[in-house]
Amino acid sequence: MDTLQSLQWRPPKPNYLPHDIDVDEPIVDVYKPPIPMDKATDRENAEYYAHMKRMAHEYNITRPKGYTVSYHFNPDMEPHHFGLTHPMKPFRLTLTKSLVTAYGMNFAMDNYNTRIATYEELNSFHTSDYLDYLHMAPPEEMPRDIDNPDKEVKFNLGGSDCPLFHGLYDYCSMSAGSSLDAARKICNKQSDIAIAWGGGLHHAKKSEASGFCYINDIVIAILQLLRCYPRVLYIDIDVHHGDGVEEAFHSTDRVLTCSFHKFAPEVFFPGTGGLDDNGPKSEHNPGAHHAINVPLNDGITDEQYGHLFQSVIGKINEKFRPSVIALQCGADSLAGDRLGRFNLQVQGHGACAKFCKTFGIPMIMFGGGGYTPRNVARAWAYETSVAIDVDEKINKIIPDHTPWRKHFVQEELFPSLEQILGEPRANRNSQKRLQEIIQHVHEQLRFVNAAPSVQQQVIPPDLGGIRDDVEDRLKEESEERDEGLRRDREEGLGISGEF
């Protein structure tokens, strides 16, 4: 063993799932399929489509002026589930889609039903050995570490955090496919804001699963962005540290990562992302000072979070001058999350996307964590409305025709803290500490060269040929969908100024 490595102190790495939670505060109920995932009849689809059109007319939901928003999704992700007691519920994507379409927001965007990412596209970041095992490993009904916590698992696959469930490889490929398609639409100038709520899995490493994340779709998407843009700003508002993305771009000055997260190394996953963790320690490494971490305690409020976010991100924008933003909108930072412990509400969470939008540069909005599906759906639907500039127009009461409406419990789009928690969590973030964080970040940014020059010939591998072969096979299928979209546009539902 290398002597230096053996002498380095490493903090204990907690599980993503805490195992010391009180008996009366279960992390998640035993999994029960929330609804039958049967397809609607043609008549039901026609009735729902009429409701969507009516809402678009009623709230004047039109395409935003001067820029294009695209929505990238693969509905085949939704029926998957991670296991009987696992907090991750892909059903949250179903609820998000139900809210977005119920308000008629889909008429204001370009909607893409994305293909799965190919092996070669996943291999642009992940190792072949890891991908081969992920693809070939058979599903297991129970995590291996339930009876024996010390049992080894290969590539960190098969434990309670990252179980081997049915359809795992396809699920990961769909998630990465949506994010990669969003990045390509940004690169091709077909979109200015691209939304991929099925992505945002920021913990996955090059050859290891971690924290419910198997494929790091964000890294794969950023690699695509770097082919066309000199500097990428990655922002993470998940309650957990965005360690996988930070690690992937540890030694480059073309990507600056900034993560806002709960930091309690001994008890909260992943135990990294301290205030002094700012990238490589060597000043000769280009990545030095290009990792900004904002460690927080339980109970932070909308007002505190908003001030902190604007103070930090505003200064980063001033110094780094990003060409494009990758915003991870993990919703486990919301109040009422099964794993998070903040007091953030939907409005405070969405304010981060709203602030980033003011910079006027291209942006991808990813999903991420979030383990109370109804609140995740509220946040991502609201942030979709922010992207298309209708957040002030939509009704703050969830429409009656919203599919699965009873699963939202409260009828409000923005339930109060009292409705969500009963009593807000104790706020352990003093104003003095938050100001110290801002000062520290601003000091670190003094070492960031404003708008670093980039040799554009140093770019990630070209996957264009692979992409073209796959997309040619899907061209015929897309023509019919495009024809339907053309008819919708001719009706004028998505064109500003026609009402």
Catalytic residues: 203
Could you tell me which residues come within 8 angstroms of residue 73 by beta carbon, excluding any fewer than 6 positions away? Answer: 93, 97, 111, 112, 113, 114, 178, 196, 197, 198
Residue 338: half-sphere exposure toward Cβ, Cα within 13 Å: 21
**The residue to which tokens 């419910």 are assigned:** 212
DSSP label at residue 208? B
Q: What is the DSSP string of 399-416?
A: -TT-TTGGGG-SSBSS--
Other Cβ atoms within 10 Å of 229 Cβ, number: 20
The span from the CA of 81 to the CA of 476, in Å, is: 31
CB neighbour class for 228 (10 Å; exposed up to 12, middle 13-18, buried from 19)? middle
| Type of residue at 345 | Q
Spell out the SS3 assignment of 287-302. Answer: CCCCEEEEEECCCCCH
DSSP label at residue 341? -
Would you say 414 and 378 are in contact if contact means Cβ atoms under 8 Å apart?
yes
87: left (phi over 0), alpha (psi -120 to 50) or beta: alpha
The span from the CA of 231 to the CA of 228, in Å, is: 9
Would you say 429 and 104 are in contact if contact means Cβ atoms under 8 Å apart?
no
Would you say 247 and 152 are in contact if contact means Cβ atoms under 8 Å apart?
no
Residue 326 pairs in a beta bridge with 234, 364
The span from the CA of 261 to the CA of 203, in Å, is: 13
The span from the CA of 237 to the CA of 247, in Å, is: 17
Rounded to a whole number of angstroms, the CA Rg of the chain reads 22
DSSP label at residue 26? -
Residue 254: half-sphere exposure toward Cβ, Cα within 13 Å: 19
